[in-house]
């Protein structure tokens, strides 16, 4: 089992529904977020390209946040999901610094928080909140170890990229381009 | 797609699609104390779900409100069976929780009073506020007639108050959704096809092969099912053609982005007609069978070549030809989208006519992938006495505009201005669910009118700017706390949805149906409100419709089979269009008879003078006009609007992204607040752009107050559509001020 998220930038409209759905699903305090939208514009008027995409923790195989965590609170669990055990987190913020995606934030309760791939929903056979709500259905989630899964098929058939590949983190959020 | 995608997650079907979270879920992630804890918390929290439909915008998506064991609203999730949302709400619907939790909500009735010579509000009891309203309404009725009490409304509360007003004898009713929004397109399409476009628009986007958006920015406007279907259309390889001076989100997803010079859409459309006809690529069979006035149209557009249009629109002739051919190739599965907020330059009914004519030439009305024939379920009226016949109302007030089909807000407001020749004096006004200083242009007119009123009531959930002008403010509870009318809208299949309160109203807020009934009873109109709880009304209606509230509580949405026949024209039969002669009117005799152009013409509109830029405005996906800006969840996503400025302009004026500026319009009106510059290639050098709905003046809106600019306050020049009274708002120009113009007035 290797969970991955695939996001089709050709369909994403940058509406931020994924952000607010994550907030209400995961009790993310107002003023913080586990996912966010970026906009990139290239070219000059009227020869322009616009890319909108939803970003979050990349659940990296080679996760710098896990490597640098002094207490082991940051760890990788089944399916490759990178998690933080709140109880063990001392809030030192080393992981926040180390993440090339700026995916982590200090929760007002003292620990470091970030995207969990909504593991508590996966438990129940549900898709992550952001994926389930996205109005353009541009987000896909599934198991990369299964070659028949929708995510595997999309990555097989469509041009795609990951963010900051040069960081060598082996991220597991993919963008169709 | 959704179900098959779920299967791809190789997790047992435990609780799949379950309502209440199952307590027996096994933690598949091994022993991890934190997860165990989280899972326990989540799993042990039993959610209750209550059917509703969203009121954060007019799309009215059906949803489930989830409350936890403590009775707190935790989340709102789309109803899977709803054709407005297909189980996925937009960000505003998902963030609808914030409409309920917002601590700045109106909490008690308020009455204007004077303390130390200054106007202020004092808290009042419901009885006091309602008694006051009833006595004022009665007094005005005695002196001037009930007609002099006017209602300006929007959304669900509006319909309860409309009932009250009609029972009282007033049809002086209007809503910004008409003359400030979709009115022109309803008139233009009605003149052509004999029917309004209506809401949701019957655009068959999911099956279209070519979608043409002209100044319509789906994806920034989150008209939910349309956004979803546009995404399906992208998956299906549909051609998208977007005409917009700004690189909108939709434009960025289009094969063809026509970066048109503002205010020239009609010229482009005329040249498209020219190409379709000159090249003989229009739907000849459809036109022969269904349309009248083709020869007149052909003669008319023969002069409007792409070369002619190039000089006006700046769109190259080959691009005009190529896009016209792309439409023809896809026809009849092509949609020239009618748009929604279509008040531009005052020739907007004609602009809508041009869209309708293009659709006719492409044979798309009544065809798969074009426009389907919509159908709604009939909801019976709850028994009540007939309404009295008012002597005058919105119709008479708008009589200057022969094809106005609803009340024109600005005309109703003008009737409040002191004028002894005014045949239709408006003396009292109730405003429900609309923040008119942000939804209606010409603030001076509004302020003068409100000033002249004898009495004004505002009903809202939030202390919107307009509440500051009221004599009495009534706090409405949010949609999550009340029953409302059954939602029955036109769709592919008739569909109804119910709104059931998930929680008790917070503070001392009340539903609008209750206010209407209370005021009605005080006015001796109790017979019109023959129920204790609005629940009884929908219970009765649902029973008449062969279902029940118990059933609807469980399903939220009920879809009925169609009764009106096929969604599309049956190719073996001859369809009768709902016009006077059963045919599409390419040439409009009706317009001709009224003294208007029977075929659309391009008119040149004013251009910005030196040093000024056209003020364009639009939507952001996470906000609905001004009403959501203070919502804590949605404010978190976007707190203020910014001023989009082309880098060339930025260079000339010396502007940087993030810099604070003020705006001054052509009439020397200066923005109340500042706005931050956003230098971007996405806008043209002759215009600036901002998202509508910001710049709230009311300090009680702790998050929204003073953030960004209210575009509407800079719209003092209104281009009125002589056909139906629409208020064109895109012909205002602004200069960018880098120094604070209010500095000297601030102490
Ligand atoms: S919800 Fe979907 S369309 Fe909206 S921003 Fe997120 S990924 Fe993009
Ligand atoms: S997967 Fe869950 S936790 Fe991660 S961004 Fe999406 S909603 Fe938030
Ligand atoms: S489109 Fe969004 S805001 Fe409008 S009704 Fe639907 S969910 Fe609510």
Q: What is the pLDDT of residue B745?
A: 64
What CATH number labels B181-218+227-374?
Answer: 3.40.228.10
* Mutational pocket test of ligand 3: of B52, B61, B625, B629, the residue with most ligand atoms within 8 Å of the beta carbon: B61
Q: How far is CA B340 from CA B180, B424, B452, in A?
A: 10, 30, 33
pLDDT of B52 above 80: yes
Per the CB < 8 Å rule, is A123 touching B27? Answer: yes
Q: How far is the CA of A134 from the centre of ligand 2 (A)?
A: 12
For B202-263, the DSSP string reads -B-GGG-SEEEEES--BTTB--HHHHHHHHHHHHTT-EEEEE-SS--HHHHT-SEEE-PPTT
Q: What is the pLDDT of residue A7?
A: 98
- In whole angstroms, give the CA distance from residue A85 to residue B735: 54
Contacts of B249 (CB under 8 A, 6+ apart): A13, A14, A50, A52, B217, B219, B220
Q: What is the pLDDT of residue B45?
A: 64
Tell me which chain B residue has its CA closest to the CA of residue A87: B34
Q: How far is the CA of A36 from the centre of ligand 1 (A)?
A: 9
B712, B635 in Cβ contact below 8 A?
A: no
SS3 of residue B108 by DSSP: coil
Say which range, A144-153, B340-349, B437-446, B584-593, has the weakest mean pLDDT.
B437-446
What CATH number labels B613-737?
Answer: 2.40.40.20
A123, B27 in Cβ contact below 8 A?
A: yes
Per the CB < 8 Å rule, is B231 touching A138? Answer: yes
| B651-673 tens-digit pLDDT | 999 999 999 999 999 999 999 99
DSSP conformation class of B495 = E
Per the CB < 8 Å rule, is B636 touching A17? Answer: no
Please report which helix (H) or strand (E) contains residue B41, including its range: helix B33-44
Percent share of chain B, pLDDT over 90: 92
Count helices and strands in chain B by DSSP H and E runs: 26, 27
Domain ranges in chain B with CATH number 2.20.25.90: 2-101
CA B434 to chain centre: 11
Residue whose tokens read 């004609």: B350
Say which range, B44-58, B453-467, B632-646, has the weakest mean pLDDT.
B44-58
Q: What is the pLDDT of residue B293?
A: 98
Cα Rg for chain A, rounded, in angstroms? 16
Q: Which residues, in sequence order, are bridge partners of residue B187?
A: none
| A85-125 tens-digit pLDDT | 999 999 999 999 999 999 999 999 999 999 999 999 998 99
Q: How far is the CA of B493 from the centre of ligand 3 (A)?
A: 19
Mean pLDDT of B638-651: 97
Pocket of ligand 2 (CB under 6 A): A 22, 25-26, 34-35, 56, 115-118, 128-130
Q: How far is the CA of A14 from the centre of ligand 1 (A)?
A: 5
- In whole angstroms, give the CA distance from residue B392 to residue B415: 12
Q: Which residues of B touch A74 (CB under 8 A)?
A: none
| B238-284 tens-digit pLDDT | 999 999 999 999 999 999 999 999 999 999 999 999 999 999 999 99
B184, B342 in Cβ contact below 8 A?
A: yes
Closest partner CB to B15 (pick from A88, A125, A141): A125
| B109-161 tens-digit pLDDT | 999 999 988 899 999 999 999 999 999 999 999 999 999 999 999 999 999 99
Mean pLDDT of B286-293: 98
Q: Is the peptide bond before B332 cis (omega within 30 degrees of 0)?
A: yes
What CATH number labels B110-179+406-488+501-559?
Answer: 3.40.50.740
Per the CB < 8 Å rule, is A17 touching B91? Answer: yes
Tell me which chain B residue has its CA closest to the CA of residue A73: B34
What residue owns the CA closest to ligand 3's atom 7?
A: B93
- Mean pLDDT over the full length of chain A: 96
Report how far apart the first and last C-alpha atoms of chain B are (Å, whole number): 61
Report the sign of the C-alpha dihedral through residues B402, B404, B410, B411, in that order: positive
Distance from CA of A128 to the nearest CA of B (A): 11
Per the CB < 8 Å rule, is A77 touching B227? Answer: no
Q: Looking at B302-421, list the stretches that DSSP marks H as alpha helix, in order from N- to C-terminal side.
A: 306-313, 317-330, 348-361, 394-397, 409-414
What residue owns the CA closest to ligand 3's atom 4?
A: B57
B457, B149 in Cβ contact below 8 A?
A: no
Q: What is the pLDDT of residue B37?
A: 53
pLDDT of B89 above 70: yes
Report how far apart the first and last C-alpha atoms of chain A are (Å, whole number): 25
Distance from CA of A97 to the nearest CA of B (A): 23
pLDDT of B537 above 50: yes
Q: How far is CA B225 from CA A134, A136, B86, in A?
A: 12, 9, 7
For chain A, the DSSP string reads --EEEEEETTT-----HHHHHHHHHHTPPTT--S-EEEEEEEEETTEEEEEEEEE-----SS-HHHHH-SSS-EEEEGGGEEEE-GGG-----HHHHH-TT---EE-TTSSEE---TTHHHHTTTPPPHHHHH-TT--EEEEETTSTTSHHHHHHHHS-EE-S-GGG----SEEEE-
Percent share of chain B, pLDDT over 70: 94
pLDDT bracket for residue A57 (50, 70, 90): very high
pLDDT bracket for residue B17 (50, 70, 90): very low
pLDDT of A35 above 60: yes
pLDDT of B15 above 90: no
Q: Which residues of A touch B88 (CB under 8 A)?
A: 17, 132-135, 137
CATH architecture of A3-176: 2-Layer Sandwich (3.30)
Distance from CA of A43 to the nearest CA of B (A): 8
**Among B366, B412, B362, CA closest to B165:** B412
Taking the CB of residue B314, how many other CB atoms lie within 10 A of it? 16
Q: How far is the CA of A135 from the centre of ligand 1 (A)?
A: 7
B558, B379 in Cβ contact below 8 A?
A: no
Phi, psi for residue B278 in degrees, rounded to 5: -60, -40
A and B: number of Cβ contacts within 8 A: 201
Could you tell me the residue ranges of all domains in chain A?
A: 3-176
Mutation target to probe the B interface, by most B beta carbons within 10 A, among A1, A13, A110 is A13
Q: What is the pLDDT of residue B631?
A: 97
B205-217 b/e (C-beta count within 10 Å ≥ 16 → b): bbbbbbbbbbbbb
Tell me which chain A residue has its CA closest to the CA of residue B259: A46
Per the CB < 8 Å rule, is A45 touching B28? Answer: no
Q: Is A46 exposed, middle or buried (0-12, 13-18, 19+ CB in 10 A)?
A: middle
Per the CB < 8 Å rule, is A78 touching B224? Answer: no
- Is A37's C-beta closer than 6 angstroms to any atom of ligand 1? yes
- Is B60's C-beta closer than 6 angstroms to any atom of ligand 3? yes
Q: What is the pLDDT of residue B743?
A: 84
pLDDT bracket for residue B29 (50, 70, 90): very low
| A154-170 tens-digit pLDDT | 999 999 999 999 999 99
What residue owns the CA closest to ligand 1's atom 2?
A: A134
Domain ranges in chain B with CATH number 3.40.50.740: 110-179+406-488+501-559
pLDDT of B349 above 70: yes
- In whole angstroms, give the CA distance from residue B667 to residue B443: 12
Q: What is the pLDDT of residue B420?
A: 84
Q: Which residues of B touch A49 (CB under 8 A)?
A: 252
Please, what is the Cα angle at B332 between B85 and B323, to 5 degrees?
95
Mean pLDDT of B419-430: 94
Sheet holding B557-559, edge to edge: B487-489, B495-497, B557-559
Q: Which residues of B touch A124 (CB under 8 A)?
A: 14-16, 18, 21-22, 25
- In whole angstroms, give the CA distance from residue B725 to residue B728: 9
A74, A94 in Cβ contact below 8 A?
A: no
Q: What is the pLDDT of residue B746?
A: 53
DSSP conformation class of B179 = I
CATH fourth-level superfamily of B2-101 = ADC-like domains (2.20.25.90)
Q: How far is the CA of B264 from the centre of ligand 3 (A)?
A: 31
SS3 of residue B647 by DSSP: helix
């Amino acid at each position: 089992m290797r969970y991955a998220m695939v996001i089709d930038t050709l369909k994403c409209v940058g509406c931020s529904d994924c952000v607010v759905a994550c907030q209400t699903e995961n009790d993310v305090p107002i003023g913080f977020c586990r996912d966010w939208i970026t906009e990139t514009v290239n070219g000059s008027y009227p020869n322009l390209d616009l890319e909108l995409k939803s970003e979050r923790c990349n659940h990296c195989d080679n996760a710098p946040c896990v490597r640098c965590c002094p207490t082991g609170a940051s760890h990788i669990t089944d399916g490759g999901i990178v998690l933080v055990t709140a109880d063990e987190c001392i809030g030192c913020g080393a992981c926040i610094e180390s993440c090339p995606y700026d995916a982590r934030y200090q929760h007002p309760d003292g620990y470091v928080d970030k995207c969990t791939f909504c593991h508590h929903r996966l438990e129940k056979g549900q898709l992550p909140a952001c994926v389930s709500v996205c109005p353009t259905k541009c987000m896909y989630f599934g198991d990369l170890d299964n070659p028949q899964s929708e995510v595997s098929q999309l990555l097989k058939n469509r041009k795609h990229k990951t963010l900051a590949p040069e960081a060598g983190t082996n991220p597991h959020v993919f963008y169709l381009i | 797609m959704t179900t098959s995608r779920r299967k791809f997650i190789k997790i047992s079907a435990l609780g799949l699609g379950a309502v209440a979270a199952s307590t027996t879920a096994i933690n598949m992630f091994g022993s991890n104390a934190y997860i165990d804890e989280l899972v326990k918390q989540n799993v042990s929290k039993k959610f209750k779900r209550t059917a509703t439909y969203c009121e954060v915008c007019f799309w009215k998506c059906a949803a489930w409100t989830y409350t936890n064991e403590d009775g707190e609203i935790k989340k709102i999730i789309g109803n899977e069976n709803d054709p407005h949302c297909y189980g996925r709400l937009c960000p505003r619907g998902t963030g609808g929780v914030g409409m309920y939790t917002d601590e700045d909500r109106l909490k008690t009735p308020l009455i204007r009073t004077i303390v130390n010579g200054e106007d202020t509000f004092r808290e009042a009891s419901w009885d006091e506020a309602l008694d006051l309203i009833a006595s004022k309404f009665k007094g005005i009725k005695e002196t001037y007639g009930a007609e002099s009490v006017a209602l300006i409304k929007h959304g669900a509360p509006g319909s309860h108050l409309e009932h009250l007003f009609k029972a009282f004898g007033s049809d002086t009713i209007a809503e910004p959704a008409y003359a400030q929004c979709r009115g022109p397109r309803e008139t233009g399409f009605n003149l052509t096809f004999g029917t309004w476009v209506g809401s949701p628009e019957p655009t068959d986007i999911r099956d279209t092969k070519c979608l043409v958006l002209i100044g319509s920015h789906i994806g920034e406007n989150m008209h939910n099912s349309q956004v979803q279907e546009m995404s399906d259309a992208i998956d299906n390889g549909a051609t998208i053609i977007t005409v917009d001076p700004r690189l909108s989100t939709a434009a960025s997803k289009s094969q063809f982005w026509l970066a048109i010079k503002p205010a020239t859409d009609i010229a482009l459309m005329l040249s498209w007609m020219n190409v379709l006809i000159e090249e003989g690529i229009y739907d000849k069979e459809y036109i022969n069978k269904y349309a009248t006035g083709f020869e007149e149209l052909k003669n008319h557009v023969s002069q409007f070549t792409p070369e002619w249009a190039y000089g006006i629109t700046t769109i190259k002739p080959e691009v005009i030809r190529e896009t016209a051919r792309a439409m023809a190739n896809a026809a009849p599965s092509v949609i020239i989208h009618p748009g929604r907020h279509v008040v531009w330059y005052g020739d907007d009914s004609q602009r809508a006519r041009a869209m309708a004519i293009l659709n006719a030439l492409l044979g798309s009305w009544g065809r798969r992938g074009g426009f389907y024939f919509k159908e709604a379920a009939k909801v019976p009226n709850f028994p009540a006495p007939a309404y009295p016949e008012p002597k005058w109302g919105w119709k008479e007030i708008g009589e200057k505009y022969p094809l106005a089909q609803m009340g024109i807000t600005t005309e109703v407001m003008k009737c409040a201005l002191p004028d002894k020749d005014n045949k239709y004096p408006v003396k009292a006004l109730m405003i429900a669910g609309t923040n008119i200083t942000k939804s209606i242009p010409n603030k001076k007119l509004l302020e003068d009118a409100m000033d002249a009123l004898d009495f004004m009531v505002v009903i809202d959930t939030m202390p919107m700017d307009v509440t500051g002008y009221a004599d009495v403010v009534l706090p409405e509870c949010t949609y999550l706390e009340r029953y409302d009318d059954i939602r029955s809208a036109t769709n592919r299949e008739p569909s109804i949805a119910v709104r059931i309160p998930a929680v008790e109203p917070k503070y001392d807020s009340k539903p609008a149906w209750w206010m209407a009934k209370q005021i009605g009873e005080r006015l001796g109109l109790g017979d019109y409100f023959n129920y204790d709880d609005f629940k009884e009304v929908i219970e009765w209606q649902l029973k008449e419709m062969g279902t029940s509230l118990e059933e609807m509580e469980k399903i939220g949405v009920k879809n009925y089979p169609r009764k009106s026949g096929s969604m599309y024209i049956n190719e073996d039969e001859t369809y009768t269009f709902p016009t006077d002669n059963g045919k599409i009117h390419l040439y409009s005799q009706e317009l001709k008879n009224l003294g208007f152009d029977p075929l659309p013409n391009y008119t040149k509109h004013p251009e910005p003078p030196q040093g000024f830029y056209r003020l364009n405005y639009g939507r952001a996906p996470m906000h609905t006009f001004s009403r959501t800006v203070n919502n804590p969840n949605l404010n978190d996503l976007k707190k203020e609007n910014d001023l989009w400025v082309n880098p060339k302009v930025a260079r000339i004026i010396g502007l940087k992204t993030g810099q604070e500026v003020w705006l001054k319009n052509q009439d020397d009106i200066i923005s109340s607040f500042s706005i931050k510059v956003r230098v971007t290639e996405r806008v043209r050098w002759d215009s600036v752009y901002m998202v509508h709905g910001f710049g709230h003046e009311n300090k009680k809106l702790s998050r929204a107050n003073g953030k960004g600019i209210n575009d509407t306050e800079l719209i003092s020049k209104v281009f009125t559509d002589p056909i139906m009274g629409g208020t064109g708002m895109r012909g205002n120009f602004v200069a960018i001020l880098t120094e604070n113009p209010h500095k000297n007035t601030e102490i």
